[in-house]
Structure 1
Amino acid sequence: MIRKFILRGIIWFSIYVSALSAHSNIELILDGGVDWFSPPKSTHIIVTDIETDSIEQGTSHATGDIGLAVNYRFPLLNNIQTPWFNQFGVGLNLRYSGFSNFIIDGQVYQFEQADLNNYRYRLYFENTRLLAQLTFDVLTYKQASLFILGGLGGGWSKFNYEDKPISSDLEGGVSLNNKHTTKLVTDAGIGLNYHYSAGFSYSLSYLYTNYGHISASSSGQLNGEYVTLASPAYALSSNTLLVGVHYVI
Structure 2
Amino acid sequence: MTDSKPKSFGRKSISASLKPRELMTNAPNLFGVWTASVVTLFPEAFPGVLGLSLTGKALQDGRWQLHTTNLRDFGDGKHRNVDDTPAGGGAGMVLRPDVMGKALEHAAGSMHRAAPILMMSPRGVPFTQRMAQSLAEGPGMTMICGRFEGLDQRVIDHYGITEVSLGDFVMTGGELAAQAMLDATVRLLPGVLGNADSIEEESHSNGLLEHPQYTRPAEWKGHAIPEVLLSGHHERIAQWRLEQARDLTRTRRPDMWAKVADKD
Query: Same-fold call, TM > 0.5?
Result: no
Larger Rg: 1 or 2?
A: 2
Higher relative contact order (Cα pairs below 8 Å, separated by 6+ residues): 1
* Higher percent of residues as helix: 2
TM-score by length of structure 1 reads 0.23
More strand by share: 1
TM-score between both structures, scaled by the size of structure 2: 0.22
